[in-house]
Each structure stands twice: as structure tokens, then as C-alpha cells.
Amino acid sequence: MSFSDYRTALVTGASSGIGAAVVERLCREGLEVHAVARSAGALDALAKRTGCIAHAIDVTDRAALARLCGEVAFDILINNAGVDRPKKFLEAEDGDIDLLVDVNLRAVLHLCRLVVPGMAARDRGHVINITSIAGNYNFGGNSTYHATKAGVAMLSNQLRIDTFGKRVRVTEVCPGRVATDIFNHVHGDDPSIRERFIDGFELPQASDIADAIAFAIAAPVAVNIGHMEITPTLQVMGGLQTARPQERQP
């Protein structure tokens, strides 16, 4: 199924980074792209640059999403919006947990609930869930984030089962470190953050992720690319560590 089989797309978290790059890529393919994010100013600039249709909506606003999905039959759904508050779970607060569950998991579930049944009825559609290597591998300080991304990973598999027999394709895209502003959004707008996570590294660009998504969408109708893990060549996951026991306090 090529791009010519699809007419409309919905992209969340579209105001910057991977989301904006995906909007640009899909607009170049001639799709009617609806871009969703909280930042109205950034969305307006994106719309002027690409011709996309901007919607200043928070993905946790279920009623607004329902209205949009009731007005447009989406052929492509790209769940990209995400947040993180990197803390060890021993230090997590209830607000941290609620925010990550609401944005990273609950919003994805509800958007799939709103969009996927129509795809199945039309026998045409593609869901792209942008998760993270954090959904498959463990590393320190992001426990709730890991849990939400793992939930979306399992949802991606379940959607294929629930739409079995229909031409609804589901692709989970798991990026590692990518050269975007997400680290400033998470850790604070300080020059040292870019030095810590971006400068001096050879990293994929947001446009590289967008091109990979376009590759999955452009595959023939008989092909479902279910899982794509995209990392820097110089990044690996894993590494065995063993700790010595600490002395118990009296």
C-alpha cells in the first residue's frame, strides 16, 4: 500500500522534533496532514511552512480529540506525543506518574480507540506508535517512562490481533538518542544539556526517523513492518553490572 492509497494523517506532538519532521515528510507526499500539539505558535509556523492543518490540542483533552476524529476519517495515525520526568521510582511523585501515564499511554489508547475502528471498517489504515528503546531495555532514572512505553509496545502488538483480517498495519518505532530538543524539554533549557546529550555525538536527526516512518508506510499492502529500532551506530543497550551489598544499618 503506497502513499497514494492514503489521504489523511494525524500526527501528535507535532510542534517540534520528530513530530514536526514527520509532518513535513507526509506533507511532501501530498497527504492532508493534521498536526496536533499544545504550542499554537509553533504549529502555526509549521502550517505556513508545510501546508498542514494545525490543531492546538493537548492530547489529554479527550473531548477535543473526539471532535477532531469525528470530523476526519484518518488513514494514518502517528502517536508521537510524549513526556518524561526522569527520576528513579524511589523518588517518583504522584504528579509525575499521572502526567506520564496520561500523555504517553492513556492518550495513545484513546486515540487508537477513536481512529482504528474506522480504519478496520474501511479496510485501510496504518498506525505508527513512536515509543522508545526505553520500552524494551532498562536504564536508570526513567522507571515510569519505561513502563508507559512498554505499554504502548504491547498495544502495538495487540492492535494487529484486534484488526486481524483487515488491511490495518501497525508499526512501532523505537528511537534511541536522536538530535532533538527533547532533552531541553525534559532536563531544562540550559546550554549544558545540549553539551551533555547532543554536541560531539553522531546522532540520527529527526528527519531520519521521519524517513524511516515513510519507508514503512510506503511498503506494499502485503507488507507490515511491525517493529523498527533506530539508534545511533555508536549507541548500544545493555551492559552487565553487579553491585556489592551494602552494610545494613543497625
Residue 92: predicted pLDDT: 85
| Under 8 Å between Cβ of 145 and 84 | yes
pLDDT of 245 > 90? The answer is: no
Q: What is the pLDDT of residues 69-127, one digit of tens each?
A: 999 999 999 999 999 888 788 888 889 999 999 999 999 999 999 999 999 999 999 99
Tell me the domain boundaries of the chain: 3-230
The candidate with the shortest Cα–Cα distance to 128, out of 103, 107, 105, 108, is 108
Give the fold, CATH level 3, of 3-230.
Answer: Rossmann fold (3.40.50)
Whether 184 has a pLDDT exceeding 60, the answer reads: no
Residue-wise pLDDT for 26-80, tens only, equals 999 999 999 999 999 999 999 999 999 999 999 999 999 999 999 999 999 999 9
- What is the average pLDDT score of the chain? 91
**What pLDDT sits at residue 231?**
93
Q: Which of 6, 74, 145, 197 is catalytic?
A: 145
**Residue type at 59?**
V
- Closest-CA residue to 243 (of 159, 140, 149): 140
| Rounded Cα distance, 57 and 40, in Å | 9
pLDDT (0 to 100) of residue 237: 84
Q: Residue 217 is placed in which grid cell?
A: 508506510
137 belongs to the catalytic site: no
